[in-house]
């Protein structure tokens, strides 16, 4: 959305004599994509990092016909911010898996909300509404403290996040009759099975990645955030409530066989 996850990676890549860096970004707003690209281009230029930006308005799940396999001298990584509520109303996990098999990335990183959509759970709407209220109260609390640390200039960005992101999610909860579970997805929710079937296997974020994440978190004055490792995943929480889970996936030994089989069936 805002591209704030990339500067730390840019710093690392700039010290490795990278010859080319291309970022293809998908999103619902061409204006927002352009603003994000401009910020990242300025930052990359300050590091003298070769940078190319390719914004595409739309969902990555609908773009398989426009995406080609990377050339032999390129390394491709896919990063997804996975919203369960959006998948119910959007393109779905299956289309995303198809795109990943076309791209054939060396690594897939996934960040998902600890907010699980369930079409079959029988809990009452009131219980789920209260759980969702706790979840979003924590998010708004974290945003509120962050605005106090960043100053008044952050109020516009906070409005964008609250109105366009959280507002949409909350409306979707009501539209879905409250069929949600908080922290119900675990470390690898249902889409993890799809990644396994698509030929990927978990890549642990414990050790060095976890240490780097903890170091980044220490840069923020706020003490409300927590970081926890679970089965090779990293969980970001706010005052004891888990908000987001990050995981990484790499092609397994049978990835090529699965891709070849898909190509045979599609032919």
87 and 18 part of one domain: no
Q: Does 169 lie in the same domain as 79? A: yes
Strand partners, 116: 181
Claim to verify: residue 130 and residue 184 sit in the same structural domain: yes
53 and 143 in a single domain? The answer is no
Of 2-16, 58-72, 193-207, give the lowest mean pLDDT range: 58-72
Q: What is the pLDDT of residues 192-241, one digit of tens each?
A: 888 888 899 999 999 988 998 898 888 877 778 899 999 899 999 998 88
Buried b (16+ CB within 10 A) or exposed e, 160-183: ebeeeeeeebeebbeebebbbbbb
Can you state the angle between helices 167-175 and 125-150, rounded to 10 degrees? 180
pTM here is 0.78
Q: Tell me: do 143 and 254 sit in the same domain.
A: yes
Task: Show Cβ contacts of residue 23 under 8 Å, excluding neighbours closer than 6 positions.
Answer: 6, 40, 51, 52, 53, 54
CB under 8 Å to 263, separation ≥6 — which residues?
Answer: none
Q: How far apart are CA 31 and CA 209, in angstroms?
A: 33
Task: Identify whether residues 1 and 111 lie together within a single domain.
Answer: no
Three-state secondary structure call for residue 14: helix
Q: How far apart are the first and last CA of the chain?
A: 36
Find the domain containing 43 and state its range: 1-58
Write the pLDDT tens digit of every residue in 141-175: 887 776 655 555 667 777 777 777 777 777 776 66
Q: What is the mean pLDDT of residues 125-138?
A: 81
Mean pLDDT of the chain: 78
Pick from 33, 58, 83: which residue ends a domain? 58
Residue 53 and residue 64 share a domain? no
With contact defined as beta carbons under 8 Å apart, do 85 and 176 qualify? yes
Q: State how many domains the chain has.
A: 2
Same structural domain for residues 72 and 166? yes
Same domain assignment for residues 78 and 31: no
Where is 194: in which H helix or E strand? helix 190-197
Are 130 and 77 in a shared domain?
yes
**Do residues 11 and 70 both lie within one domain?**
no
């Amino acid at each position: 959305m805002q591209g704030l996850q990339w500067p730390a990676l840019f710093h690392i890549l700039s010290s490795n004599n990278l010859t080319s860096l291309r970022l293809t970004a998908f999103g619902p707003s061409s204006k927002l994509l352009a603003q994000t690209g401009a910020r990242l281009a300025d930052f990359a230029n300050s590091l003298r990092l070769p940078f190319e930006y390719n914004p595409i308005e739309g969902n990555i799940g609908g773009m398989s016909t426009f995406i080609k396999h990377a050339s032999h001298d390129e390394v491709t990584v896919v990063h997804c911010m996975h919203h369960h509520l959006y998948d119910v109303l959007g393109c779905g996990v299956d289309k995303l898996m198809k795109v990943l098999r076309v791209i054939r990335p060396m690594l897939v990183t996934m960040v998902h909300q600890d907010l699980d959509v369930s079409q079959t759970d029988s809990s009452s709407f009131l219980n789920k509404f209260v759980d969702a209220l706790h979840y979003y109260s924590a998010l708004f609390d974290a945003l509120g403290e962050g605005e106090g640390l960043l100053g008044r200039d952050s109020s516009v960005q906070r409005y964008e996040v609250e109105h366009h992101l959280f507002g949409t999610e909350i409306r979707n909860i009501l539209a879905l009759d409250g069929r949600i579970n908080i922290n119900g997805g675990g470390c690898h929710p249902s889409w993890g099975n799809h990644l396994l079937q698509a030929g990927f296997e978990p890549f642990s974020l414990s050790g060095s990645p976890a240490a780097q994440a903890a170091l980044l978190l220490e840069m923020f004055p706020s003490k409300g955030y927590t970081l926890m490792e679970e089965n090779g995943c990293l969980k970001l929480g706010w005052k004891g409530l888990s908000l987001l889970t990050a995981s990484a996936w790499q092609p397994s030994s049978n990835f090529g066989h699965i891709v070849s089989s898909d190509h045979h069936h599609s032919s």
